[in-house]
Amino acid sequence: MVGLDALAMIGAFLASTVVMGVGVALLLRRGV
Amino acid sequence: MLAAVICVVLVGLAGAGRVHDLDDYYVMGRNAGTLLIAGTFFATWLSVVTFVGEVGLGWSWGLPMTLWTYASLWGATIFALFVGVPLRRAELLTAPDYFAERFASRRMRSLATLCLLAGLSFYAVGQITGAAVALEVGTGLPYEASVGLIAVGVTVYLAFGGMVAVVWTDLVMFVVMTLAVGLAVPFVLDAAGGMQALTEELPRQVPGIWAWNGPEGVSLSVCLGHALVWLGVTASAPHLMTRAYAARDSKTFLNGMLLGSIVAGPFLLAVIGMGTAARLALPDLPSRDLVMPTLARELVPVPVGCLLFAGILLAATSTINTQVLTLAQALVKDIGRDLLRLELPLDRVTRVTRGAVVVVGLVLGGLALARPATVYTIARWGGGVFACTYLPILLLSLYWRRTTERGAFWGGVTGLVLYTVLLTQVEWRLGMPAFADRFGLTANVWAAVANTVVTVGLSLAAPPPAAEADAAQELLARMFPPLAERQRATGARDYVLPVAAIVVPCLTLGGLGLALF
């Protein structure tokens, strides 16, 4: 069966892209 | 496949018409827009290590464990936010230019150039070998002919078009590769027996393939080691650094990198998933490097298979072209003009670099004929060098004004020597998992830490000489202007890409999560 740890990995993968999007948005707001 | 190659060469030659001066040839006249930056970043980042290697890793490690390598996109983010943007503002031509200007130092240029030449050559030979093996298996073309095809193809348009050709051909490759993978995934899934077979049948045949640490149940430090290796490679590789130089401005560069990453995330997921799914249809293969070519030949219809082979070829050439150009630029500008002080007026540099491109292309092709060990291993040495030499010095010297030339130079030397010794004398003998288990982290992480410690220690020990401090001040003032002078988001339109960067992965991953559970 597919375990919860697979879900956790996919979640971490997702979190990293969210951090990236937020980071760029903040930087654009501040000025680059 | 041949059509795709011819198309790329034609686009490259068309780009040649736009090359008028040194800036055009080296950094595309610094006017690449968002889409071009996204394409060139994606195509350069997506090397054959990713395209062939990740499918193989997905096949042998399973999807969750292979996701650790996604840290390379984290590396790209770190690079874009903290290094790429200031580099763009500095208006430099090559990667060693930064180190030379920041420290007003010839020996820093020498060290940076040495790392670049050694690292990128190995990296590029790994790429050529990988692509040629894939072509050999897939099309029956002899290995030597495949190497020749790749080396000559890249060299021809590169010699004429320089960075303009690289950026435009990268865009074409970007489209072909995403199309190929998008079309292939449903067929591979079908050949594996659908989603249900993946969640029920596959774990019965290969226990642990859905575990976070793979079927072999490796330790956390091994997974972290893989993540850090990939992160370091992407955050510091000189051929990715020079992408920043070509952007129209810093905002364009940031948006381009973001767009490239938005596409790269789901793309990587599809590639890895394809490998994992192929495990059911192709359970017995002698080497994981063979998964991608075998899959393209046996699991998908012929036209899609051809597109995948074109993709493999393009994935390799899109990285090789940048690497060959970066190598040739370092040879001519950094070694010839700046270090040996040859009498080269700037307008002649372009012509000499074209010649150097041909030489570099042929030499690398010749080295690839020797057919070195597996793609992943050899490219990892080449990529790892930058993570333990360039990366710590780059970050320190940009954000800690006190960093001195003496510290950076000896830090870099420490990183380079320690990495090479640890990797070749210890890690390769033990194998990476055993090394990471025994010493906590991988060789290049330890070397990067040592580099940081030496750089900081020596920098604190003595302040920089006045001339060096002035040079640093002048360059850093250009790289970090007051906030009021920078570009900022002016309306909702400027936030479209950051929002998409969050929404797109949520949708694709959410879909995958739903399908799995």
For residue A18, is pLDDT > 90? no
- pLDDT (0 to 100) of residue B376: 59
Q: Around Cβ B73, how many Cβ atoms within 10 Å?
A: 24
CB contact under 8 A, B250 and A25: no
| B456-495 per-position pLDDT tens digit | 999 999 999 999 999 999 999 999 999 888 888 888 888 8
| B81-116 per-position pLDDT tens digit | 889 889 999 989 999 999 999 999 999 999 999 999
DSSP string, B463-514: PPPHHHHHHHHHHHHHHS--GGGS----SGGGGHHHHHHHHHHHHHHHHHHH
For residue B213, is pLDDT > 90? no
B2-19+27-372 belongs to which homologous superfamily?
Sodium/glucose cotransporter (1.20.1730.10)
Mutate to test the interface with B, among A7, A17, A22, A30 (most CBs of B within 10 A): A17
Query: What's the whole-number average pLDDT of chain B?
Result: 87
Enter the ipTM: 0.86
Minimal-distance CA residue of chain A relative to B255:
A24
Q: Using a CB-CB distance cutoff of 8 angstroms, which residues of chain B are in contact with residue A15?
A: none
Tokens, residue B361 = 């292309």
CB contact under 8 A, A13 and B499: no
CB environment A8-21: b (16+ within 10 A), e (fewer): ebbeebbebbeebb
Q: Using a CB-CB distance cutoff of 8 angstroms, which residues of chain B are in contact with residue A19?
A: 77
| B365-404 per-position pLDDT tens digit | 988 888 765 555 667 778 789 989 999 999 999 999 999 9
CB contact under 8 A, A9 and B212: yes
Question: Letter for the amino acid at B462?
Answer: A
Q: Using a CB-CB distance cutoff of 8 angstroms, which residues of chain A are in contact with residue B73?
A: 16-17, 20
Distance of residue B510 Cα from the nearest chain A Cα, in angstroms: 9
Confidence of residue A1 (pLDDT cuts 50, 70, 90): low
Q: Using a CB-CB distance cutoff of 8 angstroms, which residues of chain B are in contact with residue A5?
A: 64, 210-213
- pLDDT (0 to 100) of residue B335: 93
Q: Around Cβ B268, how many Cβ atoms within 10 Å?
A: 25
* Count of CB pairs separated by less than 8 Å, A with B: 117
B400: left (phi over 0), alpha (psi -120 to 50) or beta: beta
CB contact under 8 A, A2 and B498: no
| B121-176 per-position pLDDT tens digit | 988 888 888 888 878 877 788 989 989 988 888 888 888 888 888 888 888 888 88
Residues 6+ apart with CB under 8 A from B487: A31, A32, B249, B250, B251
Centroid of chain to Cα B30: 21
- pLDDT (0 to 100) of residue B108: 96
Residues 6+ apart with CB under 8 A from B10: none
| B4-32 per-position pLDDT tens digit | 777 777 788 887 778 888 888 888 888 89
Percent of chain B whose predicted confidence (pLDDT) is above 70: 97
No. of helices (H) and no. of strands (E), chain B: 27, 0
Rounded to an integer, what distance in angstroms lies between the CA atom of residue B249 and that of residue B395?
A: 21
No. of helices (H) and no. of strands (E), chain A: 1, 0
CB-nearest partner of A23 from B77, B265, B505:
B77
Percent of chain B whose predicted confidence (pLDDT) is above 90: 34
**Residues 1..32 of A with a Cβ closer than 8 Å to B: which?**
1-3, 5-10, 12-14, 16-25, 27-32
For residue B347, is pLDDT > 80? no
Question: Letter for the amino acid at B277?
Answer: A
Mutate to test the interface with B, among A4, A10, A19 (most CBs of B within 10 A): A10
- pLDDT (0 to 100) of residue A29: 87
**B49 and B320 Cβ atoms separated by less than 8 Å:** no
Confidence of residue B195 (pLDDT cuts 50, 70, 90): confident
Nearest to B138 by CA among B352, B243, B334, B294: B294
pLDDT higher at B222 or B469 = B469
CB-nearest partner of A17 from B199, B203, B502:
B502
Nearest to B397 by CA among B405, B388, B386: B405
For residue B262, is pLDDT > 90? no
- pLDDT (0 to 100) of residue B70: 75
Confidence of residue B505 (pLDDT cuts 50, 70, 90): confident
Phi/psi at B247 (5° precision): -70, 150
Q: Which residue has the tokens 């320690």?
A: B418
Distance of residue A8 Cα from the nearest chain B Cα, in angstroms: 8
Minimal-distance CA residue of chain B relative to A16:
B74
| B327-336 per-position pLDDT tens digit | 999 999 999 9
Query: What's the whole-number average pLDDT of chain A?
Result: 81
CB contact under 8 A, A23 and B81: yes
Distance of residue B73 Cα from the nearest chain A Cα, in angstroms: 9
Confidence of residue B500 (pLDDT cuts 50, 70, 90): confident
B194: left (phi over 0), alpha (psi -120 to 50) or beta: left
For residue B1, is pLDDT > 90? no
pTM assigned to the model: 0.88
Q: Where along chain B do its domains lie?
A: 2-19+27-372
Q: What is the mean pLDDT of residues B249-254?
A: 89
